[in-house]
């Protein structure tokens, strides 16, 4: 149940409760007032009847009536007082009695209480109608108020999500001075701090990579001058790894800056991209084509994504590694231990592989995959299938 619905229900329930309490109070006060007024009238009639009875005038007063309520009879028998009693009889209208003792006799009068009952019933219908109208109005006002607050909260949530997705230039536009406006201002403050921190980290990373490029190039030249042998092979391998790291760091730094990298799209078949990526990655990689659709994308970036995923599968997973084409999606699968839980929960994190059982590494391959996919507008998902292994899916047309 959403916040809008909860707010509307709370306001409607509050309106219904208030209307019910007011209705009960009005009903009770009106019933008591009717009873007092009717008792006053019937008491006046009793007083007149007693005076006429004492004077010997036959005015139709009831003398020692059999239908007199027992409680009223005991009251006037025990004490010389005038008393009233409202008698309810099943199947007939209520009757209001008034009685007193005159000598040895009990003189009483009675009056139908049906007009008061009907008036109270009419009042109850009016109260119920008014309560229903107030509840409906409260529900409408609740929906309106909840919709306004919900739109503002939803707008803030969407902005926060876009910031989390990498658009660090987006900001909430707070209105007013209430808690929702303060929440929007807090989101903006967080985004500013996050943007500044990421920009500083990106600059440091890019600067370090740029500074390393020249000495790495010198090392590559120097390795070429070494005499052939095992030491030269070891140094050459280390230098190649270092050069790859520097190039990857520079690529990550470029991908981190919005707008720097632009996709050059053209229509192409996913199967062609899968075959080229398998060739780039090298080794024994099987390509399976189930069905496919033509997609408009940047083939160089897609090949980079698939080659990185294949390399990751071969390095951290287990053979065989396969590329499967289905529609606009390409799936990379291996039969290794599967992706670590941290990667499935939080996504790829640079310079971290996430699990010892998936081997050593600096963890930039999947970071580059995420950056290139962001440039292409593609979607990359990771999962561990029930039958084992790891499965990475690249959807080149996620909105189609």
What does the pLDDT read at residue 355? 47
Q: What pTM was computed for the model?
A: 0.53
- In whole angstroms, give the CA distance from residue 334 to residue 332: 7
Q: Determine phi and psi for 356, rounding to 5 degrees.
A: -65, -35
The full DSSP string for 363-390 is --HHHHHHHHHHHHT-EEEEE--TTSSE
* In a shared domain, residues 125 and 203: no
**In the 8-state DSSP scheme, what is residue 320?**
P
280 and 233 housed in the same domain: no
211 and 331 together in one domain = no
Say yes or no: 2 and 127 in one domain: yes
Distance CA 143, CA 16 (A): 15
159 domain residue, yes or no: no
Q: What is the pLDDT of residues 186-202, one digit of tens each?
A: 888 888 888 788 777 77
Copy the structure tokens of residue 143. Answer: 């929906």
Tally of domains within the chain: 3
Final residue belonging to a domain, choices 211, 226, 254: 254
User: Is residue 52 included in any domain, yes or no?
Assistant: yes
Question: Does residue 37 lie in a domain region?
Answer: yes
The Cβ of residue 395 has, within 10 Å, a number of other Cβ atoms equal to 19
Q: What's 197's domain CATH number?
A: 1.10.287
d(CA 325, CA 308): 17
How many whole angstroms separate alpha carbon 365 and alpha carbon 350?
8
pLDDT of residue 381: 92
* Per-residue confidence (pLDDT) for residue 3, from 0 to 100: 67
Regarding whether 330 and 286 lie in a shared domain, the answer is yes
Q: Which of 136, 166, 197 is the last residue of a domain?
A: 136
Domain membership of residue 72 as a residue range: 1-136
Residues of the chain with pLDDT under 50: 354-362
Tell whether 19 is covered by a domain: yes
Whether 143 maps to a domain, the answer reads no
**Based on the domain organization, do 120 and 204 belong to the same domain?**
no
Q: Pairing between strand 379-383 and 329-334? A: unpaired
| CATH assignment at residue 329 | 3.30.565.10
In this predicted structure, what is the pLDDT of residue 360? 46
| pLDDT attached to residue 393 | 93
Asked if 69 and 94 touch (Cβ cutoff 8 Å), the reply is no
How far is the first Cα of the chain from the last one, in angstroms, to the nearest whole number? 30
| In a shared domain, residues 276 and 220 | no
Long-range CB pairs of 242-246 (<8 Å, 24+ gap) are: 242/212, 242/216, 243/216, 245/362, 245/364, 246/209, 246/212, 246/213, 246/216
Q: Are residues 345 and 274 in the same domain?
A: yes
3-state secondary structure of 102: strand
| Position 124 in a domain | yes
CB contact at 8 A, 123 and 27: yes
Do 232 and 120 have their domain in common? no
d(CA 50, CA 53): 5
- Radius of gyration of the chain from Cα atoms? 44
Same domain, 2 and 115: yes
Q: Is residue 352 part of a domain?
A: yes
Asked if residues 308 and 329 have their Cβ atoms less than 8 Å apart, the reply is no
Tell me: do 304 and 363 sit in the same domain.
Answer: yes
Side-chain-facing half-sphere of 391: CA atoms under 13 Å: 13
Query: What pLDDT does residue 29 have?
Result: 92
Q: Identify the domain boundary among 230, 254, 278.
A: 254
| Inside any domain, residue 150 | no
pLDDT digits (tens, 9 = 90+) for 28-55: 999 899 889 988 988 888 888 888 877 7
Shared-domain flag, residues 249 and 340:
no
pLDDT of residue 384: 92
Helix and strand element counts for the chain (H, E): 9, 11
């Amino acid at each position: 149940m959403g916040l809008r619905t909860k707010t509307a229900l709370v306001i409607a329930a509050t309106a219904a409760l208030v209307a019910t309490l007011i209705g009960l109070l009005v009903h009770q006060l009106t019933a008591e007032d009717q009873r007092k007024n009717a008792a006053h009238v019937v008491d006046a009639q009793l007083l007149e009847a007693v005076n006429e009875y004492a004077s010997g005038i036959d005015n139709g007063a009831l003398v020692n009536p059999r239908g007199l309520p027992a409680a009223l009879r005991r009251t006037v028998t025990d004490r010389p007082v005038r008393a009233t009693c409202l008698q309810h009889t099943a199947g007939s209208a209520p009757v209001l009695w008034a009685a007193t003792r005159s000598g040895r006799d009990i003189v009483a009068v009675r009056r139908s209480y049906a007009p008061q009952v009907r008036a109270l019933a009419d009042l109850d219908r009016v109260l119920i109608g008014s309560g229903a109208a107030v509840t409906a109005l409260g529900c409408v006002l609740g929906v309106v108020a909840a919709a306004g607050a919900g739109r503002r909260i939803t707008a803030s949530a969407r902005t926060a999500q876009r910031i989390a997705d990498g658009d660090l230039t987006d900001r909430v536009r707070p209105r007013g001075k209430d808690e929702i406006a303060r929440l929007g201002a807090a989101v903006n403050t967080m985004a500013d701090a996050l943007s500044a921190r990421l920009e500083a980290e990106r600059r440091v990373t890019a600067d370090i990579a740029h500074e390393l490029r020249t000495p790495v190039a010198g090392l590559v030249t120097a390795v070429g001058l070494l005499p052939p042998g095992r030491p030269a092979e070891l140094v050459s391998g280390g230098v190649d790894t270092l050069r790859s790291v520097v190039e990857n760091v520079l690529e990550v730094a470029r991908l981190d800056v919005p707008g720097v990298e632009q996709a050059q799209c053209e229509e192409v078949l996913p199967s062609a991209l899968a075959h080229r990526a398998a060739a780039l990655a090298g080794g024994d990689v099987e390509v399976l084509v189930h069905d496919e659709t033509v997609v408009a994308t940047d083939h160089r970036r897609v090949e980079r994504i698939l080659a990185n995923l294949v390399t990751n599968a071969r390095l951290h997973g287990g053979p065989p590694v396969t590329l499967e084409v289905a529609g606009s999606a390409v799936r990379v699968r291996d039969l290794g231990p599967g992706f670590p839980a941290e990667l499935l929960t939080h996504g790829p994190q640079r310079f971290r592989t996430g699990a010892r059982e998936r081997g050593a590494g600096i963890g930039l391959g999947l970071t580059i995959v995420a950056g290139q996919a962001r440039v292409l507008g593609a979607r990359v998902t990771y999962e561990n299938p029930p039958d084992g292994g790891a499965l990475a899916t690249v959807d080149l047309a996620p909105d189609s």
